[in-house]
């Protein structure tokens, strides 16, 4: 284990070192232990991947009032597979719900239609993917009623985002042998500039792993930055009192817009009594 020097104020804290080692051992060992990195190394240990797999769970049904995230790795249908993954969050954990793979050869348009139907069954109206084939994925999914958005991160960054979630045990993977095999055979290459790139071994595949990494990272990012809750405005007039209440008793008050038009149409003018620009 890496140890910080407690007498050297310039060193980072032990907690920082331990957290870095847990999230990404290879990178942390190079940064904090001064260990030289090899040009090529295994991306993630098999025991870490297998520990994340929920045995016997092959797919999860849709749960109402759950927000799902989807990522696809498109293909032209002649050589590589086209894949789709759907995931959601539960607390600080990311749960993989669906994995779909169409192995070549296949009709790209038929595959997009199939994936679009799966997305809609989970209440998903948009899917994220890479920049494959220019406008084709956008057009193909748009025809099927699904918005295709280009990922803002390259594949390597998605894998690097997945790694700490796997190492910390915050991901629940499906029992999918090809997914496990692809994750365990990913290689991490380090350039002379120190930049990491993660990809499959020569002659290998990572289509499923890529889709899973994308969906998991999307879900984790959304959980880390939740949307603020919306509350209707609370409007008070000097002479009319409370005009609207964000949490009224059921049936006690009508919405503000409806009440205003009732007042306006009855000849009350353009302002609530006491709420005009000269009456505050």
pLDDT of residue 191: 74
Q: What is residue 29's predicted lDDT score, i.e. its pLDDT?
A: 44
Pick the CATH number of 38-224 from 3.40.50.300, 3.40.50.720, 3.40.50.280, 3.30.420.240: 3.30.420.240
pLDDT band, residue 262 (cuts 50/70/90): low
pLDDT computed for residue 265 by the predictor: 61
Q: Kind and range of the H or E element at 93?
A: strand 93-102
3-state secondary structure of 29: helix
Question: How much is the pLDDT for 273?
Answer: 53
* C-beta of residue 164 within 8 angstroms of C-beta of residue 24: yes
CA 78, distance to chain mean position in Å, is: 29
**Tens digits of residue pLDDT in 71-114:** 999 999 898 999 999 999 999 999 999 999 999 999 999 999 99
Q: Band of the pLDDT at 63, cuts 50, 70, 90?
A: very high
Dihedral of alpha carbons 35, 36, 42, 43, sign? positive
List the one residue out of 22, 20, 16, 24 whose CA is nearest residue 157.
24
pLDDT band at 23 (very low <50, low <70, confident <90, very high): very low
Compute the mean pLDDT over every residue in the chain, rounded to the nearest whole number: 80
* Cis? peptide before 105, omega within 30° of 0: yes
The span from the CA of 219 to the CA of 61, in Å, is 17
For the chain, percent of residues with pLDDT exceeding 90 = 56
**Stretch 3-15: mean pLDDT:** 54
Q: Are 188 and 39 within 8 A, CB to CB?
A: no
Mean pLDDT check: name the lowest of 174-178, 236-240, 272-276. 272-276
Query: What confidence category does residue 190 fall into, taking pLDDT thresholds of 50, 70 and 90?
Result: confident
% of the chain surpassing 70 pLDDT: 65
Higher local confidence (pLDDT), 144 or 5 = 144
Query: So what's the pLDDT on residue 15?
Result: 62
The domain spans of the chain are 38-224, 233-280
The string of pLDDT tens digits covering residues 127-142 is: 999 888 778 999 999 9
Q: Summarize the confidence of residues 187-210 as an average pLDDT.
A: 87
**Cβ atoms within 10 Å, residue 184:** 17
What is the tens place of the pLDDT at every residue in 207-257? 999 999 999 999 999 988 776 665 555 565 556 566 555 555 544 445 555
Q: Which pLDDT belongs to residue 274? A: 52
Question: According to the model, what pLDDT value does residue 173 have?
Answer: 98
- φ, ψ of residue 70 to 5 degrees: the values are -135, 145
pLDDT band at 261 (very low <50, low <70, confident <90, very high): low
Residue 132: per-residue pLDDT? 82
């Amino acid at each position: 284990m890496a140890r910080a020097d407690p007498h050297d104020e310039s060193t980072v804290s032990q907690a920082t070192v331990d957290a870095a080692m847990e999230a990404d051992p290879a990178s942390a060992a190079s940064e904090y232990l001064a260990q030289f990195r090899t040009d090529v190394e295994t991306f993630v240990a098999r025991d870490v991947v297998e520990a994340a797999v929920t045995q016997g769970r092959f797919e999860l049904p849709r749960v109402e009032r759950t927000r799902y995230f989807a990522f696809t790795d498109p293909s032209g249908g002649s050589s590589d597979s086209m894949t789709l993954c759907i995931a959601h969050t539960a607390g600080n954990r990311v749960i993989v719900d669906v994995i779909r793979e169409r192995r070549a050869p296949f009709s790209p348009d038929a595959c997009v239609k199939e994936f679009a139907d799966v997305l809609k069954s989970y209440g998903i109206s948009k899917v994220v993917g890479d920049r494959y084939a220019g406008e084709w994925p956008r057009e193909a999914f748009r025809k099927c009623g699904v918005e295709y958005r280009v990922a803002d991160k390259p594949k390597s960054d998605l894998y690097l985002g997945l790694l700490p979630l796997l190492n910390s045990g915050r991901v629940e993977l499906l029992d999918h042998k090809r997914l496990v095999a692809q994750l365990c055979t990913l290689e991490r290459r380090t350039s002379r500039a120190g930049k990491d790139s993660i990809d499959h071994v020569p002659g290998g595949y990572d289509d499923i792993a890529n889709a899973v990494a994308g969906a998991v990272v999307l879900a984790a990012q959304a959980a880390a930055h939740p949307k603020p809750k919306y509350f209707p405005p609370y409007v008070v007039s000097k002479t009319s009192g409370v005009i609207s209440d964000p949490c009224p008793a059921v049936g006690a008050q009508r919405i503000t817009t409806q009440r205003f038009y009732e007042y306006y149409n009855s000849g009350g003018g353009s302002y609530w009594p006491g709420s005009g620009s000269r009456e505050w």
